[in-house]
Amino acid sequence: MQGGETGGSARCEPRSERPGGRRYGRRAIVLTVAALVLMMPGAPAQAQTTPPAPDEAGPGRDVLIPDATTILPPAEGRQRVSASLQILLFMTVLSLAPAILVMMTSFTRVVVVLGLLRQALATQQLPPNQVIIGLALFLTFMIMAPVWQDVNATALAPYLEGKLDHKQALDRAATPVRAFMIKQIRINRGEEEVLMFLDYRNIEDAETWEDVPTSVLVPSFILSELKKAFFIGFVLYLPFLIVDMVTASVLISMGMLMLPPVLISLPFKILLFVLVDGWHLVIGSLLQSFG
């Protein structure tokens, strides 16, 4: 009997430990909830976000923004108003100057041809965009150097010396740039674009190139540059297209239908481009196309 009692008591000991385990579990849950409540953004965080008092604003509390009206007097009279408008228009032109200069130079043709060459080689992002744009910019500087020298000699230098006002300087600076655009339009046979824009503007008395306004000459020049660039790109595509067709026909004859031909033809196109000194031919053709 005693052995049975001791055995029964031994068996009952784990049951007596269950309430204590439940209490420990409840304590752990309560402590976890309390920790989460303390971590939540409550009243202490809101107290931190309240703005400090004016006396405790920090070392920069004495810094004040000056009133612009005390520095710049109000424009009173026609002359001051016109001068303010001229400054506003000048700042606007400066912000648009890079785009205007890019559209009126050889940059458009060069960058389009280089982009088409990269697509013809199927090298994805090689050369990267930074390299293509940098090369196009330096080629533009080289091609437009005679034009900019004329602009500097006839307009910029006399304006800086005080011999010309800004209107005369702009008129003289536009003359070499217009001559360059007219020359390229005539080389690319873009007279049809000029006539199209003249008809849209209802300008019927334009008998010579001097009668064509600059607002008509610039879009005509851009369209002629795009036409010439796409023609050069078509010529560049032909040899690489032949390589792709030969590679595809060889793979089909060998029964390798699941193998992409572009993957196989890429090294052959790069090898062909290097062997014929492709960069020299492309850049040389671009330079010669400007006359």
8-state DSSP, 127: S
Domain boundary assignment for the chain = 99-235
Average pLDDT over residues 165-176: 84
| Token pair in block for residue 198 | 């003249």
Q: What percent of the chain has pLDDT over 70?
A: 70
pLDDT band for position 203 (50/70/90)? confident
Distances (CA, A) of 95 to 86, 126, 288: 14, 31, 32
**pLDDT of residue 44 exceeding 60:** no
- pLDDT of 228 reads 92
| pTM confidence score | 0.65
Mean pLDDT, residues 36-51 taken together = 49
Out of 53-57, 219-223, 226-230, which region has the weakest mean confidence (pLDDT)? 53-57
Phi, psi of 186 (to 5 degrees): -70, -35
Terminal CA-CA length for the chain: 122
Q: pLDDT by residue (tens digit) across 2-43? A: 444 444 444 444 444 444 555 556 666 666 666 655 555 544
- Cβ atoms of 237 and 116 within 8 Å: the answer is yes
Instruction: Give the total residue count for the chain.
Output: 291
DSSP string, 48-94: HHSPPPGGGS-GGGG--PPPHHHHS----SHHHHHHHHHHHHHHHHH
How far is it, in rounded angstroms, from Cα 155 to Cα 194? Answer: 27
pLDDT on residue 36: 58
Question: Which region, left, alpha or beta, applies to residue 203 given φ > 0 means left and ψ of -120 to 50 means alpha?
Answer: beta
Whole-number Å distance between alpha carbons of 272 and 88:
54
How confident is the model over 272-289, as a mean pLDDT? 89
Q: What pLDDT shows up at residue 47?
A: 42
